[in-house]
Structure 1
Amino acid sequence: MGIIGILRPAILLLAGLAWCSELVAAAGRVDGVFNVKEYGARGDGTTDDTKAFVDAWTAACRARGSPATLLVPAANSFIVGPTRFSGPCASTRITVQVMGTITAPPAGAWRELEYWLMFYQVHGLTVTGGSTGLLDGRGGTWWRKKCKDHADCISRAPTGLVVMNCIDVELSQFHSKDSPQMHIAVSMSSNVNVAQLTITAPWDSPNTDGVHIDRSDHVRVTGSTIGTGDDCVSIGSGTRFVTVDGIVCGPGHGVSVGSLGKKGAAVSVEYIDVRNVQFINTMNGARIKTWQGGKGYAKSISFTDINFTNVEHPVVINQFYVDRHHVPNNMGAVALSNITYTNLSGTSRRKTAVEFDCSESGSCTNIHVNSVAITAADGGGTVARCRNVQGDTSGYVYPKIPCLR
């Protein structure tokens, strides 16, 4: 046969194997699932799997045409350090399927950044899980961290999951636990749906807002259970068309518009609809808070079908946020207008159930209160306190609000 005759079958066999491998790879690409374990992730709870997650994301993001899925498999715990998952992506939509646990390194084991996990400039993104999907920020290692200035130490703790400069996003059906600071931040993004999440942190954990929204529009937070050490949902400046619907909040500081206008900043917030919310053992309920000296406006805000259970401050407008005693009253404030409260009921931990505290500059106008019944948790009566508020009431309103018509 000669040497060529001997080698020819081997060459054909190798070529056939290579062709089969290409078919398998192609099938994997067509399937569009990019499992982080196939990119080197161990998922053993101790190995740093950051590079594997970045590599899997890069492959999924580059998958052309069809939707792609980055899979974080169940029954695994993956240590992932601060990571930015950047777009735009070639795939029409990219889904991050979190079936296992993604765990942050402890404080001191990674460089200090403003975020832990960030999705940046992705158009068409879903982050979802199921009963087993968990983001564990290990915030306790940050809260216990020793600093010369405790406030500065906490301010440098990272936000857990950040969505920035993204369009058409869904965050759904996973658990976020013990973020070092805010759990989820939506910033400079549009068409974002946050649904069916469970967000938890101890009641005394600092700055652990559940969902924070700023400079974004058309954002929905629905059907979620949030209990943290700060606001369950906070809404910052530059935000329009936000709906908060069907959440259970507690413990925490309530659903807050603000704080707005710090250091004289000009702000704009409008078309905020908060409805079907249960506040249970929270510090605040339906709250709007602004800094004295701020500029701009917050308008067309509604709180509808709200129930309070043992809430310390159920209904609050505070235009003297932080320190009202050392700033002159004539500095002006963020203009609040067309604020509506409809069908509010439940119990207040304190005697004062409604607090409208507005600046003398006439910045609280068209405040409408319709159908309110808030009694004291101990069975006693409640009162409302207000100043510098212009507006009206209708239907049964208890406690009576003396400065409204």
Structure 2
Amino acid sequence: MGIIGIRTATLLLAALAWRSVLVAAAGEADGVFNVKDYGARGDGTTDDTKAFIDAWSAACGARGSSASLLVPAGKSFLVGPARFSGPCASTRIIVQVMGTITAPPPGAWSGQKYWMMFYQVQGLTVTGGSTGLLDGRGRSWWWSDQCNRYGDIYKAPTALVVMNCTDVELSKFSSKNSPQMHIAVSQSSKVHLTQLTTTAPWDSPNTDGVHIDQSEDVRVTRSTMGTGGECVSIGPGSRFVTVDGIVCGPGRAVSVGSLGKKGATESVEYIDVKNVQFINTSSGARIKTWQGGKGYARSISFTNINFTNVDNPVVINQFYADPYHIPNMGAVAVSNITYTNLKGTSRYRTAVEFVCSESGSCTNIHVNSVAITFPYGEALALCQNAQGDTSGYVYPKIPCLR
């Protein structure tokens, strides 16, 4: 190539490079925003919160079909509390958690109720891989003086909150030892949580795997959850929720409720729980409401459920956390509840408990094909004020259903 050709090629490369700068400046190119490029150290001791927020701001402001915030593998980043707010310029923002994000000790929280929150984002993916981990360092909360000073464990923060968001996927990362709930979905819609792992000791208080409230069109699928709280808790204002393919244990249950505390009017409807394995949990398929509450829990199904050594496999309890059953006090109406193909073993003799209010608020309970045994004798069902029917083989026999 002659001198003229070299100069021409050089000018062409320079022009292309300059055009790339202009395109990026105009926000027309997708980008990856690595937290290390914004000052994150990833040494496990330096506070990297500002770097994460700055990287989020850059990714959220980048225009294009998508933008990514990268948390690289092989590093441990001390972060939080932090709020990542939208709306964002791109149609989808992707957070790739390939490394470990570690929570600060309790003294650094200043009363915040969450560790990390995604707020008002439309089109969000938070994903990881075999190395992606959120470490909430919950042990410093569960049995410490910090909890005693705050009064109770409910003052402990939730690890990851999705609030007021639409079109969200959380997938393929792990969360361990959350101070309280691992993941909470609130006031959001079109949310899919899949291939997640949440772990905490069986006696860690209220470390729910996933909690859902005031949200609709939420799916929790193909995940493993072992905690000290509910594996999945479905709270007030939840509609069209699917829980499918969960392995739960240790923990409490997949629960609907609790609803109606202090006389509140609350509702939950169109809940589908299926293909769940409960292993050594304190409950299994559970619905719980408070005395004196108002509203309803309706159109709820539990299908293809397997219990292994579960304390209380099937429960409807309208006297949740209230030992004083006041007659005719009223209750959240529980109706159109369907149980199909439930089987396994109960740790205690009473395998089914339908304990309902005298106000006649448990109706249309349908039980089809249930076989839950007690290894050391005859299994029993406790049935109080529930109305409904059974079909197929049902053991133990439920005396107050037709």
Identify the TM-score tier after normalising by the shorter chain.
Answer: over 0.9
Once the two structures are superposed, what CA deviation does each residue of 1:155-195 show, in whole Å capped at 9, x if it has no partner? 11000000000000000000000100000000000000000
- CA distance, structure 2, for counterparts of residue 21 and residue 184 of structure 1: 44
Residue equivalent to 2:323: 324
State how far apart, in whole Å, the 1-side matches of 2:70 and 2:22 are.
17
Of the candidates 362, 369, 393, which is equivalent to residue 390 of structure 2?
393
Partner residue in 1 for 2:364: 366
Q: d(CA) in 2 for partners of 1:116 and 1:141?
A: 14
Q: Structure 1 pair 112/25, CA: closer, same or farther in 2 (3 Å)?
A: farther
- Asked if 2 retains the 8 angstrom alpha-carbon contact of 1:145 and 1:153, the reply is no
1:150 to 1:338, Cα distance in 2 relative to 1, 3 A: farther
TM-score normalized by the length of structure 2: 0.93
**Cα distance in 2 between the residues matched to 1:21 and 1:115:** 43
**Equivalent residue runs for 1:281-320 within 5 Å:** 281-320=280-319
- The one-letter amino acid of 2:358's match is E
Give the structure-1-normalised TM-score: 0.93
CA distance in 2, matches of 1:242, 1:150: 36
- Once the 2 structures are TM-superposed, how far is the Cα of residue 145 of structure 1 from its aligned partner? 2.2
- CA–CA distance in structure 1, aligned partners of residues 22 and 251 of structure 2: 49
RMSD: 1.9
Partner amino acid, structure 1, of 2:398:
I
Task: Give aligned pairs, total.
Answer: 389
Paired residues for 1:6-405 under 5 Å: 23=20, 30-146=29-145, 149=148, 152-325=151-324, 328-376=326-374, 378-405=375-402
Separation in 2, partners of 1:381, 1:279: 21
Alpha-carbon shift at residue 31 of structure 1 (Å): 4.2
Equivalent position SS for 1:204: coil
Task: Give the secondary-structure state (helix, strand or coil) at the position aligned to 1:65.
Answer: coil
Classify the secondary structure of the residue corresponding to 2:151.
helix
Provide the rounded CA distance (Å) in 1 between the counterparts of 2:125 and 2:87: 14
Q: Residue 7 of structure 1 corresponds to which residue in structure 2?
A: none
1:192–1:391 CA distance, 2 compared to 1 (3 A)? same
Q: Distance in 1 between matches of 2:147 and 2:88?
A: 43
- Aligned to 2:109, the other structure's residue is in SS state coil
Unaligned regions of 5+ residues in structure 1, if any? 1-15
Q: Unpaired segments of 5 or more residues in structure 2?
A: 1-12
CA distance, structure 1, for counterparts of residue 99 and residue 391 of structure 2: 51
Tell me if the contact between 2:30 and 2:62 (Cα under 8 Å) persists in the aligned partners: no
Counterpart Cα distance in 1 of 2:90 and 2:340: 44
Q: Which amino acid counterpart does residue 284 of structure 1 have in structure 2?
A: S
Q: Percent identity?
A: 76
Contact map agreement 2:122 2:166 (CA 8 A) in 1: yes
Q: Deviations over 1:109-134 (max 9, x none)?
A: 23221100000000000000000000
Q: 1:31-71 CA distances to partner (integer Å, 9 max, x unpaired)?
A: 41000000110111111000000000000000113200000
